[in-house]
């Protein structure tokens, strides 16, 4: 997720832009840039030196000509195209007279680029954002003013956006708009009366505490001391006013107490963005970005997944999906074990590495080993241009945005979504699943972000259940079928942030040993949503109940048969079986979160853990 800042008016344009970008730094970024209005022209500077980008940008901007009257700025977290200067925002049109900063994804970027190139436009980046600058250019050339040009251009975009646009032809004006991606505007307190624009409140919190929040498809014109908001047709609308009394640290967390709860709250977006432009409205999939062509994918006769931790659990879910939909053998291994056991691989094996960071050394080395053995290697990574993304033959990015909390939450859900998309795409390429079935699964997938959002809203209920277990030091987590990796992820969350022992088992395995540990008072958390093994799951629950266990069940809304077996229920909406982990894991994240908080632990920085593990 990128950051946007904009200002027009006053004498502190450079400071407001650069300080605003610095205040967005906590979100993570790989490049940064500004475009400023100076002497009737646009002046642009960009830097793509990773976390040094802002310092490097500051040096260039300090030598900027004359005093700018306004400008826009951006910190980029790459999603389309490498994190290079050429891809850093702002992007310009062919004339250099229009500059755009953008957060989000232009879904129909490929078709728009083709149409623009046919009309003679020349693209100078690999981003989806650049098409917006050229669309605005076309509208301006047709005689429209900047606001009308932006409104018309937006009518041609599919996807999500928060954007800011400036034109050399309209000094002192910024036009901004949003659909899905957040955007706020404000007038600064004090004599400057600057009109301000930001993707996140912290960027401009020092200048005012009163903001206008835009709704989807609203367009705002910023001029010194003035803001006016319209809908996409130019009809005036009254924006919502937000008064903020948080301090800067709370504002960085979006009003949440910590990044973990903020990032759990971002899960619907993370899943939606990961599906965007890949699961198409016509019920097919498009993964042109994959870098491995369909002919090569058709040769694949075995899939092997390698990953660690939460990424491994996402991979476990994918194993079920691949075997069911693709009807090919799917193996999975903990990355640190994989290469030392001499796996059998050849050119027809597709090895899929799954990694939020794309840097975890165990997974990186496992993928390198697979490549050396002749397998085709693909990575699911959240970080564009990560080591794994550079090494692999193919890459499919999750689009969860930077994750700051050490415990994986939104990236875990995005990984499951990306892996399911990959499994469906392979099924489409192999013809292993009828088109109608693929379309039906995609339709169900599209509903998942809403269901995740609904589940998140039940946080108080989960907190109340967690409050009953603050003194418990040992938990069992059980699941069957895709509920098993969900149980493993629930147990991992509890271990890593609440520091309590939590053992996860496929429930059928219980009777082969672990059941000896069940005694009155043992707490068993089980995923008992309605998958194909639900009845067997309830039999396993009955076994632990009869030995005196206290039972917490994740159950589908209204399922009283399941609730009757539980001491406490974590309710979730029903979801088709193979997609259910995307929803069923959410209350288990919340459960761990509330237990950790009850003990006063720092959920964002659990002890002994690093966000990226670069040692074996």
What residues contact 226, with CB distance under 8 A and at least 6 apart?
A: 187, 195
C-alpha span between 177 and 315 (Å, rounded): 37
Residue number with CB closer to ligand F6R (496 or 604): 496
Among 310, 387, 427, 550, binds ligand F6R (CB under 6 A): 310
534 Cβ neighbours under 8 A, 6+ residues apart: 528, 562
Tell me which long-range contacts 378-381 makes (C-beta under 8 A, separation of at least 24).
378/290, 378/292, 378/350, 378/351, 378/352, 378/353, 378/422, 379/352, 379/353, 379/354, 379/355, 380/352, 380/353, 380/354, 380/355, 380/415, 380/418, 380/419, 380/422, 381/353, 381/355, 381/356, 381/357
- The verdict on whether omega for the bond into residue 49 sits within 30 degrees of 0, i.e. cis, is no
Q: Is 613 in the site for ligand F6R (CB under 6 A)?
A: yes
Out of 408, 451, 549, 582, name the contact with ligand F6R by CB under 6 A. Answer: 408
Distance CA 354, CA 315 (A): 7
Q: Does 261 bind ligand F6R (CB under 6 A)?
A: no
Of these, 106, 220, 264, 308, which contacts ligand F6R (CB under 6 A)?
Answer: 308
Nearer to ligand F6R, 311 or 529 (CB): 311
Count of CA atoms in the C-beta half-sphere (13 A) of 373 = 22
Q: Which residues participate in catalysis according to the annotation?
A: 2, 611
Site membership for ligand F6R, residue 357 (CB under 6 A): yes
As a whole number of angstroms, the distance between CA 248 and CA 202 comes to: 6
Task: List the interface residues with ligand F6R, window 593-612 (CB under 6 A).
Answer: 612
Q: How near is the Cβ of 360 to ligand F6R at its closest, in Å?
A: 3
184-187 vs 240-243, strand pairing mode: unpaired
CB of 395 to ligand F6R, least distance (A): 14
Q: Which stretch binds ligand F6R (CB under 6 A): 142-150, 338-346, 350-358, 580-588?
A: 350-358
DSSP one-letter code for 450? H
Residue 186 is given by DSSP the state E
Q: Which CB sits closer to ligand F6R, 112 or 351?
A: 351
Map the footprint of ligand F6R across residues 221-250, applying CB under 6 A: none
- Answer yes or no: are the C-beta atoms of 129 and 150 closer than 8 Å: no
Q: Which is nearer to ligand F6R, 333 or 496 (CB)?
A: 496
Nearer to ligand F6R, 179 or 493 (CB): 493
**Nearest distance from residue 526's CB to ligand F6R, in Å?**
21
Report the residue number whose CB is nearest to ligand F6R: 309
Q: For ligand F6R, which stretch binds (CB under 6 A), given 5-13, 42-50, 180-188, 302-310?
A: 302-310
**Residue 27 or 178 having the CB closest to ligand F6R:** 27
Give 428 or 484: the residue with its C-beta nearer to ligand F6R: 484
To ligand F6R, the closest distance from the beta carbon of 268 in angstroms equals: 19
The binding track of 463-502 with respect to ligand F6R, each residue x by CB under 6 A or -, is -----------------------------x---x------
Site for ligand F6R contains 274 (CB under 6 A): no
Count CB atoms within 10 A of the CB of residue 605. Answer: 17
Measured N-to-C along each axis, helices 267-275 and 435-456 cross at an angle, to the nearest 10 degrees, of 160
Run of H or E including 330: strand 330-334
Interface with ligand F6R (CB under 6 A): 308-311, 355-357, 360, 363, 407-408, 492, 496, 612-613
């Amino acid at each position: 997720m990128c950051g946007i800042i904009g200002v027009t008016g006053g004498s502190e344009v450079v400071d407001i832009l650069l300080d605003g970008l610095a205040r967005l730094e906590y979100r993570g970024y790989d490049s940064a840039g500004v475009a400023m209005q100076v002497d009737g022209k646009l002046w642009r500077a960009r830097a793509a030196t990773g976390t040094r980008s802002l310092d490097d940008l500051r040096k260039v901007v300090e030598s900027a000509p004359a005093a700018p009257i306004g400008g826009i700025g951006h910190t980029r977290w790459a999603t389309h195209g490498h994190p290079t200067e050429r891809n850093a925002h702002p992007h310009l049109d062919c004339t250099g007279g229009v500059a755009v900063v953008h957060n989000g994804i232009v879904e129909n970027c490929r078709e728009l680029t083709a149409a623009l190139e046919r009309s003679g436009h020349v693209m100078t980046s690999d981003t989806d954002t650049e098409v917006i600058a050229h669309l605005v250019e076309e509208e301006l050339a047709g005689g429209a003013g900047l606001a009308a040009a932006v409104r018309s251009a937006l009518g041609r975009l599919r996807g999500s956006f928060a954007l800011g646009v400036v034109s050399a032809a309209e000094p002192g004006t910024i036009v901004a708009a949003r659909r899905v991606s957040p955007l706020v505007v404000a007038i600064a307190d004090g004599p400057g009366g600057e009109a301000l624009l930001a993707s996140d409140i912290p960027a401009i919190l020092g200048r005012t505490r009163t903001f206008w929040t835009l709704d989807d498809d609203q367009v705002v014109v910023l001029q010194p001391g003035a803001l006016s908001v319209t809908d996409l047709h130019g009809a005036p609308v009254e924006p919502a006013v937000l008064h903020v009394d948080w301090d800067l640290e709370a504002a960085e967390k979006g009003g949440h107490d910590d990044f973990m709860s903020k990032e759990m709250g971002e899960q619907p977006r993370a899943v939606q963005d990961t599906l965007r432009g890949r699961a198409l409205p016509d019920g097919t999939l498009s993964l042109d970005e994959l870098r491995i062509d369909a002919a090569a994918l058709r040769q694949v006769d075995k899939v092997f997944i390698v990953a660690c931790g939460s990424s491994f659990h996402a991979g476990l879910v994918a194993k079920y999906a691949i075997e069911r939909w693709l009807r090919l053998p799917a193996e999975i291994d903990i990355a640190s074990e994989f290469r030392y056991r001499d796996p059998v691989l050849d050119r027809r094996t597709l090895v899929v590495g799954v990694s939020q960071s794309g840097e975890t050394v165990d997974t990186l080395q496992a993928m390198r080993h697979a490549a050396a053995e002749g397998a085709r290697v693909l990575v699911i990574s959240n970080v564009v241009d990560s080591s794994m993304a550079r090494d692999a033959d193919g890459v499919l990015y999750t689009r969860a945005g930077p994750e700051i909390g050490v415990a994986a939450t939104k990236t875990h859900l995005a990984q499951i979504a990306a892996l399911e998309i990959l499994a469906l795409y392979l099924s489409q390429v192999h013809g292993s699943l009828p088109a109608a079935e693929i379309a039906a699964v995609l339709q169900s997938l599209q509903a998942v972000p809403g269901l995740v959002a609904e589940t998140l809203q039940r946080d108080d209920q989960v907190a109340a259940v967690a409050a009953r277990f603050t003194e418990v030091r040992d938990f069992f987590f059980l699941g069957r079928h895709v509920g098993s990796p969900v149980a493993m992820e629930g147990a991992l969350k509890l271990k890593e942030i609440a520091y309590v022992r939590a053992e996860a088992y496929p429930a059928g395995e219980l009777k082969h040993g672990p059941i000896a540990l069940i005694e009155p008072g043992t707490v068993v958390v089980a995923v008992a949503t309605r998958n194909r093994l639900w009845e067997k799951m309830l039999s396993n629950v009955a076994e632990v109940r009869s030995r005196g266990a206290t039972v917490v069940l994740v159950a589908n809304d209204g399922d009283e048969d399941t609730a009757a077996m539980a001491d406490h229920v974590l309710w979730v909406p029903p979801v088709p079986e193979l997609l259910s982990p995307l929803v069923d894991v959410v209350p288990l994240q919340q459960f761990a979160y509330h237990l950790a908080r009850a003990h006063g632990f720092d959920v964002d920085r659990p002890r002994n853990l690093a966000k990226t593990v670069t040692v074996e």
